[in-house]
Amino acid sequence: MKVKEIFFSLIMISTLLIFASKDVFAQTTGVGAGVVLGAPTGIDLKFWTSNINAFDVVLGWTNDGGWERFGDGNAYYFTRSYFHFQADYLWHDFTAIRTSQRLPLYYGVGFQFDNGDALPADFGVRGVVGLDWMPYSTPLDVFLEVAPVLYVVPSAGLGIDAGIGARFFFH
């Protein structure tokens, strides 16, 4: 429960910062703050380093679950919730999709860290690919992404993250 309280506090602070900012500008410069829903769900920050490259950082949580058979022979569904942190370096290709809108394809590499609910912490290397809709004359972008993950700690494994989100850009 504490993770959710922190998450919603961060959303409120981000919202106040966004609306307190008087100068908004294009989505390919500066800093964007928003939310991502999916795996993970959380606060998303994007920091542009050039007109095609950016760092994207997410602080949030992830839920997963599954069926497990116990000693009494019955199967029970369980859920787990854990803290999630990810950071990716992105490249944006504004010419991959021809349209009158700004809809760059982006791809990148990064890492993620998860910990919580008496589970061992895990660390993974991730690749990410997505689409980013950047409407003209607004400080807003909307994105959809998928990221395969190669877990390396505490043991090797594969996973996949996916999310949809939106950010406001300000300075």
154 is in which domain, residue-wise? 2-170
* Measured distance between the N- and C-terminal CA atoms of the chain, rounded to whole angstroms: 32
CATH code assigned at 83: 2.40.160.20
Q: pTM of the entire structure?
A: 0.78
Domain tally for the chain?
A: 1
Contacts of 91 (CB under 8 A, 6+ apart): 52, 53, 106, 107, 108
User: What confidence tens digit (pLDDT) does each residue in 117-162 have?
Assistant: 767 889 999 999 999 999 998 999 999 999 999 999 988 999 999 9
Block mean pLDDT (10 aa), the chain, length 171:
57 51 61 95 96 97 70 70 94 95 96 84 96 94 97 91 95 67
